[in-house]
Structures are given as C-alpha cells and as structure tokens.
Amino acid sequence: MDYKSLIKSTNDFPIEGIIFRDLNPIYANGDAFNSLLIDIEKLCQGKTLDIIIGIEARGFIVGAALANRLGIGFACVRKKGKLPPPVISASYELEYGEDVLEISEDALKNGNRVLIVDDVVATGGTIIASVDLLNTLKADIKGIVSIIELLSLNGSNKITQKTNIPVQSLCQY
C-alpha cells in the first residue's frame, strides 16, 4: 500500500521548521490500518517475540494492535511522570528539545524477547533511550520497527551505531 499518499504533512508543527507527519489518516482507514499491521507483521517473520514495546504516544497505537495480532503482551515506554513507581528512567534528545522516558520496573521478565515499535524515527533519541531502559531490564531486543523514517536526521544510523540493532521502517522521507 502507498502509505505516503495517506500520511498528512503539516509544516511548522509543533514548532517552526518541523514537518509533522500525521499517521491518523491511516489509523482512521480500516483497510489501510490493517494493511499497515500486516506489513509490520511481515517484518517480524522469523522473530520469536514475547512482548511488544510501544513508545509514547503514537507507538502505543500500532504496538498494542500488533501485540494483539501476534497473541503476545504489550508494554509501554512513557514520558516522565506518567507511570506509577517504581520506574527506570533515561533521558534523550528530540528533534526539537529534550525529555525523559520511563518504563515500569516490572514491565518485563529477565530475557523477554521484545520488539520496539515507534511511529517515527527522527534523531533516534527516543529509541536509543528505550533500548537503554530495556537493557537495564535485561530484555532480549529482537528488532526495532517504525512506520516513518526521516532520512535527513540520520536517526536510524545513530540507533544502529549505538545499539547494534538495525531499524526497519515502512516509509522514508
């Protein structure tokens, strides 16, 4: 499916100079959303997984739906202050600022085989911070999947260099 034809681009949002790629038109179209999940599921072939990790907030949408399709668990990586303690934290840089991510200490069991799902790879900061959190919990990270990759920001290369885990994406801008 041509997902790019459905993705809405908004200039200067959330701040000047940023082009926001809105996936909501895909989620609102049942056939497109189903096709998206099928295509991501194909990227998972050959991987034995116990749990999907969705990154706040738009990684929750696809991550939870994919976990349901695969019949496995789902856990979320959230922005600071959104999960009850005890949590593990990691700071990261955004395309347009800084923030902190957290995961519940009991979100995973030692050795859980996980797939990280996020909507967009920009600078790579959120995924690198998520990998740091999952490594602290001794997860076995089997892959990283995104819907969109912003090539000009070189995030996927940064992720792979820092974590040694390649990023698979469906659309590249």
Q: Which residues are catalytic?
A: 58, 95
Centroid of chain to Cα 74 = 12
Contact yes or no for 84/105 (Cβ under 8 A): no
Residue 172's SS3 state is strand
Cis peptide preceding 86, ω within 30 of 0: yes
Centroid of chain to Cα 62 = 9
* CA–CA dist 68, 27 (Å, integer): 16
* Token pair 């800084």: residue: 98
Helices H / strands E in the chain, number of each = 5, 9
Contact yes or no for 55/130 (Cβ under 8 A): yes
Contact yes or no for 13/112 (Cβ under 8 A): no
Among 58, 60, 53, 52, which residue's Cα sits nearest to residue 21? 58
